[in-house]
A and B are shown apart, each in its own frame.
Chain A
Amino acid sequence: MSFVNGNENQPGWRPGLRESATFDRDTIAEIQRAAREGMYDIRGFGAKRPVPHFDDLLFLGASVSRYPLEGYREHCATDVTIGTRYAREPIKLDIPITIAGMSFGALSGNAKEALGRGASEVGTSTTTGDGGMTEEERGHSTRLVYQLLPSRYGMNPDDLRRADAIEVVVGQGAKPGGGGMLLGHKISDRVAEMRNLPKGIDQRSACRHPDWTGPDDLEIKIDELREITDWRIPIYIKVGATRTYFDVALAVKAGADAIVLDGMQGGTAATQDVFIEHVGIPILAAIPQAVQSLVDLDMQREVQLIVSGGIRNGADVAKAMALGADAVSIGVAAMIALGDNAPEHEAGYQQIGSSAGYYDDWQAGRDPAGISTQEPELEARLDPVEGGRRLANYLRTITLEAQTLARACGKSHLHNLEPEDLVALTIEAAAMARVPLAGTSWIPGVTGS
């Protein structure tokens, strides 16, 4: 019996050498590293394991039974308004692609400024993170979402009132149920001051809020935030994708204007690898649960759904919206647009034992691209104007891609995309996304056979 394991072209292989599928070289290397260092692996980025994703879905496109819109002439709108349920001043976005929360501390000041510049240029929002609001991002973001996190680092009522929306972070797709750790070498004087902690110590971010423990308490907390901001701005609730149907229902009950749903592919600044890869569910499986929850509560479109976790291109945007999202959010992709993992930094990556395309040690603070660092000489490598321009270019590109696909389906607004426009390439994706397997009417778990 022949066992071909795909390593025949790898350096060092010769006939007779057979790699274990269970103990492959990566597994062996990790066991050896753990034995050597006595510490689990902490890294940034999101889940790297393959999971069912938007690539497993296809649009049907128009034909005789549907007619398309002219690609370069007929209008396909992209605007979205977030916070229509309670806020006096909902956020109006020109494109349904927002920038996810990323902290100053994890990211450099220049990176935060570049995110604000890029997002503002195309009329969308950016989001603070675990560490408070910086002048760089407030000053360069026309629409800024201020995160209320369990750690409350940098949180204060003055900045709440300067925000355009508040996002109560319950969980994150990369680590639902987990907190965080900003390692001491990224704690500069400025970061330490914003977080009320000494310089150079590891800063733990709590896994749950200290002043509320359930949806009834959360409702009170949200009322408190509404009073502070005079019911002016929207309040989002962000959850990591796990028991999504119930989490969304409870968030709606607690009074959310919008739900931010983050799948397991979503990025993190620093989390244990074992956590990133083994907790949470793919965004593909979570969106239909969230939509069903909103439909059951008669809240679809009244409470907006923003989804994140592995959004890379316009196809992902369009597919997420066809499944029922009102908007999407990007984090890892935004960092890559700024210059993360760019080939021009290859020498720098090599010096720290990585390579462009693989770099995920965002926790280490030695980012050659000047993004996930607090070292002034590294940060200076990122020009916030140029970075902002790259991000704006990228956002425009994926918006155009999404519009192209929507027009092909005959839709004059991205929000008109619907599950009926989609089919799945695999049984797993069909079951998770609740759309038919291509060429059939079979939705596993929904239709009979």
Chain B
Amino acid sequence: MSGTVVIEGSASQSAAATGRGGLLVIHGDASARCAISLKGTDVVVRGNVGHMSAFLAQKGTLVVCGDAGDSLGDSIYEARLYVRGSVAGLGADCIEKEMRFEHLEQVRELLARSEVDADPADFRRYGSARQLYNFKIDNVGAY
């Protein structure tokens, strides 16, 4: 709900699953499904995240300073994703979005709170295309 959790090493799968608030800092890598069903927590990963990270993420932020695995942000709702390195692939309904000033400021603030040294300008932003918010038979190929 609130507060900060810092992991000095790496995290196994589903770190911060359904987290509703606070800040989670992972100074190593995070395995698959990091930030799954996220509901408000801010997550900062100094290393890489595994496949299906931010699956069904509703609210909150995932900042990845390394690379992201396949199907990042699959079926994402309103969570914000920032990745500095490469993204192996985006999941259904997840698209790259413009990195505006407000987003640079958000990344800068989260990196500072996490004591991670990185340039916000190096990050790219991803989020929901909002095309799967209501079921349409024409989108059946995405399921």
Contact = CB atoms under 8 A, between A and B. Distances in A.
Interface of A: 37-39, 151-152, 155-158, 181, 183-184, 195-198, 200-202, 204, 206, 210-211
Given A206-B37, A210-B33, A210-B36, A155 B137 contact: no
Contact of A201 (B1, B56, B133): B133
Contacts of B39: 152, 196
Contacts of A206: 37, 56
Given A152-B39, A211-B17, A39 B77 contact: no
Given A184-B134, A206-B37, A210-B36, 15 more contacts: A37-B137, A38-B137, A156-B1, A156-B20, A181-B135, A183-B135, A184-B133, A195-B58, A196-B39, A196-B40, A196-B59, A198-B78, A201-B134, A211-B17, A211-B36
Contact of B37 (A38, A183, A202, A210): A210
> What's the dominant secondary structure at chain B's contact region?
loop
> What's the dominant secondary structure at chain A's contact region?
loop
B37 A152 contact: yes
A18 B63 CA distance: 66
Contacts of A196: 20, 39-40, 58-59
Contacts, number: 52
B14 interface: yes
Contacts of A151: 37
Nearest to A185: B134
A221 to B, nearest CB: 11
Contacts of B56: 204, 206
A155 B137 CA distance: 31
B1 A39 contact: no
B114 interface: no
Nearest to A151: B37
Contacts of A210: 14, 17-18, 33, 36-37
A180 B56 CA distance: 14
B36 A202 contact: no
B48 to A, nearest CB: 20
Given A156-B20, A202-B135, A211 B1 contact: no
A200 B59 CA distance: 16
Contacts of A38: 137
A182 to B, nearest CB: 12
22 contacts: A39-B135, A152-B18, A152-B37, A155-B20, A156-B1, A184-B133, A184-B134, A196-B40, A196-B58, A196-B59, A197-B58, A201-B134, A202-B133, A202-B135, A204-B75, A210-B14, A210-B18, A210-B36, A211-B14, A211-B17, A211-B18, A211-B36
A398 B39 CA distance: 42
B88 to A, nearest CB: 21
B130 to A, nearest CB: 8
Interface string B1-39: 100000000000010011010000000000001001101
A38 B37 CA distance: 29
Contact of B1 (A152, A157, A195, A200): A157
Interface in B88-142: 133-135, 137
A223 B39 CA distance: 22
A227 to B, nearest CB: 15
Nearest to A37: B137
Contacts of B40: 196
Query: Most chain-A CB neighbours within 10 Å: which of B20, B37, B133, B137?
Result: B37
B75 to A, nearest CB: 7
A157 B40 CA distance: 15
Nearest to B39: A196
A340 B135 CA distance: 27
A386 B77 CA distance: 40
A270 to B, nearest CB: 11
A85 to B, nearest CB: 27
Given A210-B37, A211-B17, A202 B58 contact: no
Contacts of A158: 1
Contacts of B18: 152, 155, 210-211
Contacts of A198: 77-78, 133
Contact of A202 (B14, B33, B134, B137): B134
Interface in B23-72: 33, 36-37, 39-40, 56, 58-59
Contacts of B137: 37-39
B33 A197 contact: no
B113 to A, nearest CB: 22
Contacts of A204: 56, 75
A304 to B, nearest CB: 28
A184 B136 CA distance: 12
Contacts of A211: 14, 17-18, 36
B15 to A, nearest CB: 9
Nearest to A209: B17
Nearest to A42: B135
Nearest to A38: B137
The 9 tightest CB contacts between A and B, nearest first, are A211-B17, A210-B17, A201-B133, A152-B18, A210-B36, A38-B137, A196-B39, A210-B37, A196-B59
